[in-house]
Structure 1
Amino acid sequence: MHTVTRLLTLPALLALALHAPVASAAGFDCSRANTILETAICNTPSLSAKDDQLNALYTPLKAQKIFRELETDWLKNVRNQCKTPECLESAYDRQIRRLTALPAPVPVASDSLAPLPKGEVYAKVEDAPWQRFALAPFIGMSEDSVAQLIDVTVKDGVLHAFVYVSGDPDGPTYVQDKHVMRATSGTLLEYADDHPGWHVIARNVRFAGWSHSGFNDQRERYAGVQDGAFYYRQRSNGELEQSMVYAVGSQQPPQPTTQGYHAGSNTVRFAKARVLEDLNVANDQLRLAYESDGNSRGYESVMAPDSSGWSLVNPTWSEHRPVLYFDNSGGMACVWRVDLVNKVLSKVVPEHEAVSARPVDINGREALVYVQENQLMFAIAPDQ
């Protein structure tokens, strides 16, 4: 049957399907096939086998919103757009690759990276084809509320994201210099992708997650995930701080702890090259210096020195790849990706409201979690 149907148009496939015995090998129930495509898949052995293979990959993942979104998008915009058996074969091959877990990326040593020749800059890609979709909206935010993505992690294959929403109008009060002060406070939230929605970790929190709040580079970090636990600092009376810990995914109350979280700036943590300028002062371009054993091996300009419209915010290195990401709040606002191997600067999230991007690996694939207006968002790199 397969060798015949490959030569037929979709209407011919339908006619053939109506006169063929119902198959049962597809991932869905062929006795309930009610579209031209489903009927064609059931009556084409190779397509039916691919559908089975895809179903076996998708079933253990479908509890997670990320994979449901990927599957829905594929069905609507790829598979269901097909008009020929060849197109269907290609569509299934593409989605099978997409859902097949990839091994961890091979580590790249900093010493193996080299700067561009003097005078050259990175190639710029304005429309990198990353898939993007919303994970969860922030409910009940006021006009003064600000959502900040603190950290992301993957536990047992499931994405968890930690967000602080500041601007709580009912924040606690404290006494300072004999005056009653209202603390700037907010709510700590956890997003778990296998239970889409928000778990409130704590309310009325005077969050102290980094040393330079509101700056382009937040410098030292005091909040993040380590060994399956989310650590953060909160202020009580005055400026007194308390370290707290929350077990990722537990939905149990956070507890005081003597163990604090302390990590370097995102600009230096996991860095494969040194960011030359102080982004809190001069942030209209990005230059990277390459060093070995304290000795300079040269530097490169990511964008042209006389370029305008750049205002780099929240530079963050990938833990597993020689890649730097940053938000841009100027005329070229968006989320950008700096690839140190291929020397390419790519716009991976084009929306101007996208901020606070944090890298994560999902099923072995490069991805980002970020905030866009009143929603937690997700972007995943295309398969190469």
Structure 2
Amino acid sequence: MKAAARLLPAALFAACLHSPATVAAGFDCSKASTLLETAICTTPSLSAKDDTLNERYKPLKDRKIFRELENFWLREVRNRCETAACLEVAYDQQIKLLTPVPALSQVDPKSLQPLPRDQRYTQVEDEPWQRFPLATVADMSEDSFAYLVDVATLDGVLNVVLFVSEKQDDEGSNPGNIYDSRPIGTLYEYSDARPGLHPFARNVRFDGWNNITANDQGRRYAGIIDGVFYYRQKLSGEAQQSMAYKLGSKATPQPSTQLYAAESNSKRFAKAQISGDLNHDNSGLLIYYPHLTGDSNPYDRVMDKDAGGWSLVNPTWSPTRPVLYFDNNGGFACIWRVDLVSKRLEKIVPEHEAVAARPVDVIGREAIVYLEADQLMFAIAPDQ
């Protein structure tokens, strides 16, 4: 994995020169042009690790996510090393990151227990995940708004569906009002194997949620099943049509007899129960454990209402982990993670325009896709 590198100190350079033999690496050692590359080629353990890393990376390099992860590692980790020990650690970490993790066993919600009543979640505000843009939503105007509809990993490749609203001026809606319950706009798909946003349905009056702009949007009417995106579009009056689009096909969506329906993101895949109605009171978060009964009224007080500054939006459960994600502070949001096992409340995306986190597993690792202004973003959990 040859890349521009910093010069290493003379001591390490000397060690390279006295190495007994030049060994193989993940790049052509005959073309090694820096001290760092020379160190890798002439140190057997580093050369072996470079080979291993190259084997892990080669089948993934056509995907934008892994190219970004590799470029970050080269730039910010490997090429900053000034000792052989640092390089050893850097390679170990990246090999581990690119090694697929076995699928998680489903957590039994009945195994989860609340904190003692006098304790609170540990709040962590400096736990940002590695994050970078996947695509730009082009030609967004001040009257338009982007919605992240659904994500799925198909054959190991991340796929995302977005809806971008346009100016509205019919059926009694106010021009440019993004709060119209059935906005007109364009549906886009993103595939990590084919970077960029690709429109597949234009001028659609999209019906994706029961309440499209509420803190908790209610029942879902659009989503991905087995590589097919199902959605509903409003026709004249109250008439609706169910549509189906096979992801990656570039074909025109077709009418479908299958209706997509799922619970709210605050209930779907839920490992515990969020108290109250977040559309009316979203300034605190209590999580109840319905499998526990009795006078103890078991719950976790994740954050207090009187703590100030909380406005919970888009609560979404991970399908595979006992974890809840949400935006804080509405349209000027940052993204938080609630871990029901470690009892931690973590700010994982600090930018205040970050919204609508959707969980996804990438080679078995915890990650999210979200929106930030006109950017479709990706963030991955730090490797433990």
Secondary structure of the corresponding residue to residue 111 of structure 1: helix
Task: Give 1:152's aligned residue.
Answer: 151
- Partners of 1:315 and 1:33 lie apart in 2 by 50
Within 1, Cα distance between the matches of 2:16 and 2:352? 48
In 2, Cα distance between the equivalents of 1:377 and 1:68?
A: 15
The code of the aligned residue for 2:356 comes to S
Aligned to 2:64: 65
Give the CA deviation at 1:367.
Answer: 0.3
Equivalent position of 2:299 in the other structure: 299
Preserved contact between residue 286 and residue 302 of structure 1 (Cα < 8 Å):
yes
> Which residue does 1:350 correspond to in 2?
350
Q: Distance in 2 between matches of 1:265 and 1:118?
A: 28
CA drift of 1:20 comes to: 7.0
Residues 123, 345 of structure 2: 8 Å contact kept: yes
Deviations 1:115-140 (A, max 9, x none): 11113221100011410100011111
Cα separation, 2, equivalents of 1:133 and 1:212: 30
- Classify the secondary structure of the residue corresponding to 1:207: strand
Does the residue aligned with 2:87 lie in a helix, a strand or coil? Answer: helix
2:4 alignment counterpart = none
In the alignment, which residue of structure 1 is the partner of 2:380? 380
Q: Distance in 2 between matches of 1:51 and 1:30?
A: 11
Q: Does the 8 A contact of 1:309 with 1:332 survive in 2?
A: no
CA drift at 1:32: 1.7
Q: Is the 8 A contact 1:284 1:312 kept in 2?
A: yes
Separation of aligned partners in 2, 1:87 and 1:127: 24
Match status 1:266 vs 2:265: yes
Task: Report deviation, 1:223.
Answer: 0.4
2:339 alignment partner in structure 1: 339
What residue identity is the alignment partner of 1:218? Q
Per-residue deviation, residues 10-65 of structure 1 (Å, max 9, x unmatched): 32333454687983510011122122111110111110110000000000000001
Contact 2:313/2:330 (8 A) holds in 1:
no
Which deviations, in whole Å up to 9, do the C-alpha atoms of 1:185-239 show, x marking residues without a partner?
A: 1110000001101111100011000101110001100001112211111112123
AA in 1 matched with 2:321:
R
Map residues 156-167 of structure 1 onto 2, 5 A cutoff.
156-167=155-166
Please tell me whether residue 227 in structure 1 is matched to residue 226 in structure 2. Answer: yes
Aligned residue in 2 for 1:246? 245
* Partner of residue 368, structure 1: 368
Give the letter for the 1:321 counterpart: R
- C-alpha separation between the residues in 2 aligned to 1:248 and 1:293? 42
Cα RMSD (Å) of the superposition?
Answer: 2.2
The two structures have a TM-score, normalised by structure 1, of: 0.91
**Pair 59,234 (structure 1): closer, same or farther in 2 beyond 3 Å:** same
User: One-letter code of the match for 1:249?
Assistant: G
From the superposition, tell whether residues 274 and 19 of structure 1 become closer, same or farther in structure 2 (CA, over 3 Å). Answer: closer
CA distance in 1, matches of 2:362, 2:377: 14
Partner residue, 2:5: none
CA shift in 2, pair 1:372/1:241, >3 Å = same
Q: Distance in 1 between matches of 2:132 and 2:348?
A: 13
Q: CA deviation at 1:358?
A: 0.3
Whole-angstrom CA distance in 2 between matches of 1:299 and 1:46: 51
Q: Name the SS for the 2:162 alignment partner.
A: strand
CA contact (8 A) 2:282 2:310 kept: yes
2:23, 2:44 within 8 Å by CA — same for their partners in 1?
no
Distance 1:307 1:54, change over 3 A: same
Say how many residue pairs are matched: 368
- Matching of residues 94-173 of structure 1 within 5 Å: 94-168=93-167
| Bigger Cα displacement from structure 2, 90-99 vs 26-35 | 26-35
Indicate the residue corresponding to 2:195 in structure 1.
Answer: 196
DSSP 3-state at the match of 2:207:
coil
Contact 1:218 1:265 in 2 (8 A): yes
Structure 2 unaligned runs (5+)?
1-7, 174-181
- 1:308 lines up with 2:291 in the alignment: no
Deviates more, 1:74-83 or 1:111-120: 111-120
Cα pair 1:310 1:332 within 8 Å, conserved: no
SS in 2 for 1:67: helix
Shift of 1:371: 0.3
Corresponding residue number in structure 1 for 2:178: none
Q: Is the 8 A contact 1:146 1:167 kept in 2?
A: yes
* Whole-Å separation in 2 of the counterparts to 1:359 and 1:259: 25
CA distance in 1, matches of 2:172, 2:121: 53
Give the Cα–Cα distance (whole angstroms) in 2 for the partners of residues 175 and 287 of structure 1: 39
| TM-score of the two chains, using structure 2 as the length reference | 0.91
Preserved contact between residue 332 and residue 354 of structure 2 (Cα < 8 Å): no
In 2 relative to 1, CA 71–231 (structure 1 residues): closer, same or farther, beyond 3 Å? Answer: same
CA distance in 2, matches of 1:187, 1:129: 32
Counterpart residue type for residue 349 of structure 1: V
Secondary structure at the aligned position of 2:326 is classed as strand
| C-alpha contact (below 8 Å) 2:333/2:355 kept by paired residues | no
Q: What is the alpha-carbon distance in structure 2 between the residues aligned to residue 27 and residue 331 of structure 1?
A: 46
Aligned to 2:49: 50
Distance 1:332 1:246 in 2: 33
